[in-house]
A and B are shown apart, each in its own frame.
Chain A
Amino acid sequence: MIKVPTNILLVDDEEDFVEMLALRLEEMGENVVKAYGGQQCLDFLDQESIDVVILDIKMPSMDGIQVLKAIKSRHPLVEVILLTGHGTTETAIKGMKLGAYDYLQKPADFEDLTNKLAGASKKKEDQDERIRQAEARELLRRGGNI
């Protein structure tokens, strides 16, 4: 089976970290877009087609929860995986209640991350598929009325 690359948006203010993780994910066959702040993240979401956002919520420059809320309100179908530092696990769980798929603590185990990516990606795919089928049914319904 050919692997369909997931379109991933990486958001973290640590450039070295973003660069390394992006290289690893691309090595695994994914498409990775890199962002270093909340605003950049939202801009990319508007411009590119993204499936999963990996979002660091302990960035000092912005409120991770606010960014998450913005993502979920403007792009509700995009799945979000949160990356936290130790002191922000409570925030991460709060984020999950606001719609994030799951969270990981840094430094994250790569296998854990890829497993969660696969899960988030599948969730989006399944929803996208349901929407396609609903649209198809709607077309048929309309077609039948002519």
Chain B
Amino acid sequence: MLDWWLPENVSTYGAEIDWLFHLIYYITGATFVLVFVTMLVFIVMYRDRPGRTARYTHGNTPLEIAWTIVPALILVILTALSVPAWSRIKMQVPASDFDVNVTAKQFNWQVGYPGSDKVFLDEMHVPVNKVVRVHLRSQDVIHSFFVPQFRMKQDAVPGREIVQWFEVVKPGKYEWPCAELCGFGHSGMRGWIYVHTPEDYAKWAAENLEGKGKQ
């Protein structure tokens, strides 16, 4: 049920993240039910009543070993599944010819494209089905590049450039908030990422990327 609330995913690696989310959701959900039902049953069954004696025992070593190994195994499996996905998303930036420069500031996203001097505020235009490499910087404090529908988040740290990527499979207009407290204007710091079909993108680029200075 929790997953009803996930915004629609439109990115390639977003699908991997959602798969892992659901897996963990089912495992933790099952554990939750198991533990709570057990607890409720015990609370009812073993409540104090006249004539009851409690069972005098200090524990059970085989049980102890079992309930150490089983959770450990489950967690090891979750780790093994998470690590490759993480590597694909955060460590391996696929080759691409589409780069965007994003410099965060209090309280806007400043977007620029290689080869053009124009600075766009709070909007980014990219083509669909293409790996977009984002060169992320900040000119003042730490901000965080968050696009819920791409399942993408990366902090922008002043003093360094971080390269991240995404690839979107569905054209549309996607909300792009800042996800790291950056001052009193943090709430409301938000841009839009427009994902175009190749034809629409070409049209936009022709109209907007030529020339110098702020558009």
Task: Indicate, yes or no, whether A interacts with B.
Answer: no
Q: B-side interface residues toward A, CB under 8 Å? A: none
Q: Which residues of A contact B (CB under 8 A)?
A: none
